[in-house]
Amino acid sequence: MKKEAIVLLNMGGPNNLDEVEVFLKNMFNDKNILTFKSDFLRSILANLITFSRAEKSQGIYREIGGSSPIVSHTRNLVERLQSRVGNGVVVDFAMRYTPPYAEEAIERLNREEIDRIYLIPLYPQYSTTTTKSSLEDFEEVYLEFGGDAILSEIKHFFQNQTFNRAIIERIKEAVGDDPCSEFDIIFSAHGLPQKIIDNGDVYEQHINRHVEILSNLLKDEGMDFHEIHLAYQSKVGPMKWLKPSLEEKLEYIRNRGVIIYPISFTIDNSETDYELDIEYRELAHEFGFKHYRVCRCLNDSDIFVDALAEIYHKMQ
């Protein structure tokens, strides 16, 4: 009988403070992040960025317990998805910039003599900086290790109905028993430099379409927020990035209650646990918000596990 595997892919995050520099150096050496043709120039700039940001980044991870939660959440997700699909399918995961890397997952899969591997990047919307990077990395390493299984991949899943139902449930958790009309909701997406979009990356198109889908679902659920917004977070450097920024959007809303949903993330990480839940919470306090609530990512929620199992079965 042929044996199959599901491998979940994500960017990763430091498992301890010593890995912060590893994370930064690997990320900025990625040709899909810094798009220089010269590997030498990219390496020099990556080292400079790492040197300039390492101390501040370590401070951020200290604030959230000394590590990124992304690996532990993903391990839990893998265990729950394994239970859902059964022992006939091997479920594993690999991170792009920190351990466990693709090599570790591939070594395990090769021992299992897998015939087909289904690659599911945990980025709902496609981007060259995330989806393409993770898929390329796994596939290149798999060939280096002499793997001969058939590789099947999915490049985005923001239109999956079960996945979007999981998001609506997270938003309901954040609203609680309060009337939606007392809140604005902001779908906060990780930003990208405008030049990457101008070079053909479809990420912004996918984000816009996803907000439209979720807005319609909220309406169908009778969740009538005062207003629905899209904003972008996590800008670094002087380059022009996608707009509006989350700071600009919060300043525009001011004083009202607001729900933040991290639309481009499926697993909690420093951008959600620190940037949204600590840094922007302080800004919201300065702006006089009555309520500032950040939705948890889907992590290993029941409906997200359902969605991933459904995505796997549709790939077969």
Closest CA to 209 of 149, 160, 150: 160
Determine what percent of the chain is predicted with pLDDT higher than 90: 96
Average pLDDT over residues 90-101: 98
Residue 69 has what pLDDT? 98
Q: Is residue 78 a contact partner of residue 93, using CB atoms and an 8 Å limit?
A: yes
Average pLDDT over residues 94-111: 97
Q: Are strands 257-262 and 227-233 parallel, antiparallel or unpaired?
A: unpaired
Chain segment 261-300, per-residue pLDDT in tens: 999 999 999 999 999 999 999 999 999 999 999 999 999 9
Listed as own residue / partner, the contacts of 141-148 with beta carbons closer than 8 Å and 24 or more positions apart are: 141/101, 141/102, 141/103, 141/106, 142/102, 142/106, 142/117, 145/103, 145/106, 145/107, 145/110, 146/110, 147/106, 147/109, 147/110, 147/117
DSSP three-state, residue 274: helix
Q: How close are the terminal C-alpha atoms of the chain, in Å?
A: 15
Chain segment 163-212, per-residue pLDDT in tens: 999 999 999 999 999 999 999 999 999 999 999 999 999 999 999 999 99
More confident residue, 306 or 238: 306
Summary mean pLDDT of the chain: 96
Q: Is the pLDDT of residue 1 over 80?
A: no
Cβ atoms within 10 Å, residue 104: 15
